[in-house]
Amino acid sequence: MNFTEIAKNAKEASLKIAFLSTDIKNKALLTIADEIECNKSKIFDANKIDLQKAEDLVNSGEITKSAFNRLKLDENKMRDMIQGIRDISKLEDPVNKKLLARELDKDLTLYKVSCPIGVLGIIFEARPDVIAQISSLAIKSANAVILKGGKESVNTNKQIMSVINSALEKVENFPKNVIQQIFTRDEVAEMLKCDKYINLIIPRGGNKLVKFIKENTKIPVLGHADGICHIFVDETADLDMAIRVVTDAKTQYPSACNSVETLLIHENFKGKEHLFASLQLSEIKLIDNPESWSFEYGDKILSVKTVKNIEEAINHINTYGSGHTDSIITKNVQNAEKFMNEVDSAGVYFNASTRFADGFRYGFGAEVGISTNKTHARGPVGLEGLTIYKYKLIGNGQIVGDYTTGKKQFHHKDL
């Protein structure tokens, strides 16, 4: 089947799933979760094959060590993946919610109602658990999706997709072709041209992937190119808190996009040497004069800079950051508010690790990705970010001419 047929099928499926009941969508999600749990061993076996091949790709330099780490599925990731699907089934249906009700005039009422985006094209690297996350979010938000994973995870992706579609076949009245998968670069090239059928492209991967996609499509793109996250340790910061938060933000999952890459320290912070020593005990390499302040290490490496005040910290972040997630450690509430108001990022935190920037941790069930865009959706994108809205106007034979001539007047009353 060529890509145009896949895209047409996705468009047809998107029109059918848009009207599916909440009960059927939730049943589909719970069935997928159960099927994945029953087929864990098959998925793990497929992942082992990919990991063996990926070792050669790491050795040849085709993929990074951080990409290899994201590829690995373990019991914890599997548990979170299954729980994430079940959590999505418990969330409120984001479709057909009334966002506004306004009486323009007597018997002339305007409604703003949430609706699905339509067809999503998802291109991602390494992480095979992305398939389950995005498929679940797409189902609950009533979108069709075409997925393209990296070559390094092809066996795992095929196995998970097989389990998902096997589960969906068991759900009565669930439309076909809601979740589809492609595998080749040629198909990706076709996807990026296919603005007739695809409504949104979401890349999940490194800087090169995102930039390539943005430069080669007319379709709107949702995502982020870099994850240059900062933590500013203010003058009044608690030393123990700073150690715990910075260590977590760098070591809990170094290759994640919400891992901290730059540590800014107020020059009057008295615990600086103790903080550095503790970070080094956690095997974090500190660099105080990096070649670039906008480099994403994806490893236990941390750029460090001493700043004179909070203004310098904020200016550094807004100059070199990627608008992803940035945090301040301080006892000064006014400084925390200033930081969170003036740092121009999708996530701004006070005394918390940047690693909280995640749809699952935000209670979204899962995320389709993290966006640094300033249109439509920003930050971890869950169900609401996969809906748009339409306006419904209900009248009783009214015509615009009556209002332009002054025969009738609008009274614009919110209901």
Full set of structural domains in the chain with CATH:
3-222+368-391 (3.40.605.10), 229-356 (3.40.309.10)
Residue pLDDT, tens place only, 277-288: 999 999 999 999
Q: How confident is the model at residue 66 (pLDDT cuts 50, 70, 90)?
A: confident
CA separation for the pair 232, 22 (Å, rounded): 44
379 strand-pairing partners: 371
Q: Are 388 and 117 in contact (CB under 8 A)?
A: yes
Q: Are 376 and 347 in contact (CB under 8 A)?
A: no
Quote the percentage of the chain above a pLDDT of 90: 84
Residue pLDDT, tens place only, 255-265: 889 999 999 99
pLDDT on residue 95: 97
CA angle in degrees (0–180, nearest 5) for 230-383-157: 85
pLDDT on residue 182: 96
Quote the percentage of the chain above a pLDDT of 70: 100
Range in 31-40, 188-197, 331-340, 373-382 the model is least confident about: 373-382
pLDDT on residue 273: 97
111 strand-pairing partners: 101, 392
Exposure of 1 by Cβ count < 10 A (0-12 exposed, 13-18 middle, 19+ buried)? exposed
State yes or no: pLDDT of 81 exceeds 80. yes
Residue pLDDT, tens place only, 288-320: 999 999 999 989 999 999 999 999 999 999 999
pLDDT on residue 63: 78
pLDDT on residue 167: 98
Closest CA to 5 of 176, 149, 172, 150: 176
Q: In 10 A of CB 40, how many CB atoms?
A: 16
Closest CA to 98 of 415, 336, 364: 415
pLDDT (mean) for 85-102: 96
State yes or no: pLDDT of 226 exceeds 90. no
